[in-house]
Amino acid sequence: MTASSPYHALFARILNVNPETQKLQDICRSLLERDFEGLSELKSLAFKSLEQGREKTPLPLDIATERKGEHETDDITIGNMSNLIEFPRILKKEFMMPDEIFDQKLLKKELLVHKKQFREKRQSWEKLFEQQCALTETKQWARQKTYILLDVSASTGQRHRLLLEKAIAIGYLQSNLKERGEVYFRAFNHSTGSLHLCQSPSDYRDLINKVIMQAEPIGQTNLQKAIETAFDDLNHHPSEHPAEILILSDGLSALDLESLFSSPPPSKIHVVLVGGDQPQLNDRDLREHFNSLHKSQISSYREIEDPKRRELLLSQLDERFRDRKEQLRSDIINDLKSQLKELCVRTQGTFIHVPDLPQELGADREQAAQIEQRIEEISQALQNPQTTVLDKEQLMDELLALRAYLRELSYQVDTNNLDLKKNFEELIERTGELTLDSQELQAMLEHLELSCRWKSNGSSEVSIPLSQWIKLTYRAIKQSLKRRSNPPKA
């Protein structure tokens, strides 16, 4: 069942539908409705499909797939007879066989006959290679090589930054059909996470659902190490086609560009700076920067022989430092940003600075309208007899997620906006009608299994039906209460 919302279509690969998934779509929409410098580049980089309103284009029919062509010709060829009717077309030399053998072969239809029928296409090797080597759209997609570095440091937990990064990452992958090529992914904070390499649809599905969507914010930021690791990974998996790296980060940190570019970079690098956490700069950092700007002046002052004059000039310099602390802080931040921009410029990539979203996004009418539309679509789909059981299960999951999300949104509604609050409450009620009265949901719960996993020196896992688990837990609680009320006599 296709959804009318383009955001829903863009994030359709996220299978685990929960309130966070809904929020992801809303955050994406909030961002793209704001006006900021870099908006058009962001849309071009990661949200093309929203602009063009296109769904995935079907694969073109490549010449290489039209291999088993046959064509009718006027040529006469020789083959085994397929029917006794072809008797008049038997080759003359077959009649030279001894009668017994001839008869046997005739019965088995193994005699050779002239044929005026379809025959396989014959082509020269040059022609075949010309077809096979031709560049097609499918090959172009297959040759894409994409690397995503996702910052999951603790600061990305603020202001929905991590969700924004996830939305941009998934939008970038989906809009550019990156799944048809190779996708590399690492999350990073002060260290780099494991490398996930996707070369098949199932790998890609796992990347979106089990890796990107499950990422949680923790730790600090070491962008230099993350980029070096990405370069190493790409060097270990080189191909004829250059890769594109997409870096999503909220932190400004110093980069050693000369070290990174000591050998030719393997790829085009795009950087999306989300929010832009300012680095923690202490006096020592500012002093170092100030000294580097006035290096020659400081060394010439130190060479002055007269100690009084030397002290006077150095103290004037100190005073200038104290006066310019804020300016220095701003200079350092601009330098760090320039480094990131330089990273992109040198590799012909794009640098985009996305502003922070407000901590409380609030709820608005458009959200309510979109959710209402989605609820109706789900309701129709559930009533449609052609909807399969698995699809119904998925729709139920989405409905429950929408219900939880609606509750969250209703708390965010401005208390003065009673109409909007009422609207959300009606929507919550509607989801209640669809879920709590639903026989499908009851059947799902009955068959739901709860998995318990524990580790000894390996891993062991037990799965039991949820209903069984509820019964066992209820029984255990009942027995525990009974023991408490009737303690054993001494």
Partner 1 sequence: MQIPSDIRLHPDFDKDCLALLKSGDLEQPESLVHKLQLENETFYDQVDHNSVVARLNGMVGAMGRILVNRSELTRQGLRALLTAEHQFIFSAAGVAKSLYASQMFAFFKNASTFSIQFCPDTTPDDLFGAYDIEKFKKGEIHHNVEGSIITHPFAFLDEFMDGNDKLLRSLLGVLLERRFSAGNQVESAILHTAIATSNYMRMSETTEALLDRFLYKAFISPAKDMYTLLRIDQVYNNNSGSVSAPAEEQLIDVREIVAMRRIIRGRHPKIQVHCPIEINYLKNMVAAAFESEMRKYRQDYYLSPRTISKSNDCMKANALLDGRMKVNEKDVENLYYLFCTINEPLDEHRTLISQDLYKRVFRSRIQYFHAILNELRPLLNTFEFMCQAQKDRSLLQKPFEELAEHRPDNQWLPHIVESLLNTFKTREEIQISNQKSSFLKLIEPCGEKNHELAEFKKKVIELIEIVYRPLS
Asked if 56 and 397 count as a contact pair (C-beta separation under 8 A), the reply is: no
| Nearer residue to partner 1 within complex by CB, 110 or 216 | 110
Choice from 64, 255, 281, 314 touching partner 1 (CB under 8 A):
64
Q: Report the residue from 71, 236, 453, 482 that binds partner 1 according to the rule CB under 8 A.
A: 236
Determine if 137 is a binding residue for partner 1 (CB under 8 A). Answer: no
- Amino acid, single-letter form, for residue 96: M
DSSP state of 56: P
Check binding of 182 to partner 1 (CB under 8 A).
yes
* Rounded Cα gap, residues 368 and 421, in angstroms: 10
Q: Is 62 near partner 1 (CB under 8 A)?
A: yes
DSSP class of residue 14?
A: -
Q: Which residues are CB-contacts of 344 (< 8 A; sequence separation ≥ 6)?
A: 269, 270, 271, 350, 351
| Residue 67 touching partner 1 (CB under 8 A) | yes
Nearer to partner 1, 192 or 249 (CB): 192
- Bridge partners for 135 per DSSP: none
**Alpha-carbon span 15 to 387, nearest angstrom:** 17
Does 237 engage in binding with partner 1 (CB under 8 A)?
A: yes
In angstroms, give the least distance from the CB of 453 to partner 1: 13
Let me know how long the chain is: 490
Q: Tally Cβ neighbours within 10 Å of residue 407.
A: 14
The beta strand positions in 169-255, using DSSP E, are 182-188, 196-198, 243-251
Please, where are the H alpha helices in 11-85?
Answer: 19-33, 39-46, 48-52
From residue 239 to residue 278, the character string flagging contacts with partner 1 as x (rule: CB under 8 A) and all else as - is xxx-------------------------------------
CB of 171 to partner 1, least distance (A): 24
**Counting contacts by CB under 8 A, is residue 462 touching partner 1?**
no
Q: Which residues, including other chains, have CB under 8 Å from residue 234's CB and lie 6 or more apart?
A: 145, 147, 184, 243, 245, 266, 267
Number of residues that bind partner 1 (CB under 8 A): 53
Nearer to partner 1, 169 or 409 (CB): 169
Which tokens is 286 given? 């500012």
Would you count residue 61 as binding partner 1 (CB under 8 A)? no
Min CB(155)–partner 1 separation in Å: 23
Q: Give me 156's structure tokens.
A: 């990305």
Instruction: Work out whether the CA dihedral 148, 154, 159, 163 comes out positive or negative.
Output: positive
Binding of residue 197 to partner 1 (CB under 8 A): yes
Answer for which of 58, 83, 88, 122 binds partner 1 (CB under 8 A) is 122
C-beta of 462: minimal distance to partner 1 in Å?
A: 16
Does 78 bind partner 1 (CB under 8 A)? Our answer is yes
Distance CA 341, CA 351 (A): 6
Instruction: Work out whether strand 449-454 and strand 460-465 pair parallel, antiparallel, or are unpaired.
Output: antiparallel
Q: Compare residues 201 and 362 and give the one whose CB is closer to partner 1.
A: 201
> Shortest Cβ distance from residue 135 to partner 1 (Å)?
5
Q: Nearest 5°: phi and psi at 160?
A: 60, 25
Would you call 246 helix, strand, or coil by DSSP? strand
The terminus-to-terminus CA distance of the chain in angstroms comes to 67
Q: Is residue 451 within the footprint of partner 1 (CB under 8 A)?
A: no
| Interaction between residue 82 and partner 1 (CB under 8 A) | no
The residue assigned the tokens 């060394």 is 299
CB 204 within 8 A of CB 78: no
Q: What is the DSSP string of 172-194?
A: HHHHTTGGGSEEEEEEESSSB--
Choices 31-39, 136-144, 317-325, 357-365 (CB under 8 A): range interacting with partner 1: 136-144
Q: Which range touches partner 1 (CB under 8 A), out of 47-55, 95-103, 155-163, 388-396?
A: 95-103
> According to CB under 8 A, which residues from 102 to 121 bind partner 1?
104, 110, 112, 120-121
73: contact with partner 1 by CB under 8 A: no
Nearest distance from C-beta of residue 255 to partner 1, angstroms: 22
Q: Which of 60, 201, 238, 432 binds partner 1 (CB under 8 A)?
A: 238
Does 96 participate in binding partner 1 (rule CB under 8 A)? no
74 is a contact residue toward partner 1 (CB under 8 A): no
Q: Which long-range contacts (CB under 8 A, 24 or more apart) does 134-137 make?
A: 134/63, 134/64, 136/60, 136/62, 136/63, 136/64, 137/59, 137/60, 137/62
User: What φ, ψ does residue 133 adopt, rounded to 5°?
Assistant: -85, -10
Smaller CB separation from partner 1, 144 or 394:
144
- 139 lies in the site for partner 1, by CB under 8 A: yes
Least Å distance, CB 130 to partner 1, is: 9
Q: Which is nearer to partner 1, 93 or 489 (CB)?
A: 93
Q: Is 133 in the site for partner 1 (CB under 8 A)?
A: yes
State the minimum distance, in angstroms, from the CB of residue 127 to partner 1.
Answer: 8
382 binds partner 1 (CB under 8 A): no
Residues that bind partner 1 (CB under 8 A): 62, 64-65, 67-69, 77-80, 91, 93, 98, 100-101, 104, 110, 112, 120-126, 128-129, 132-135, 138-139, 142-143, 182, 192, 194-197, 199, 232, 235-241, 457-459
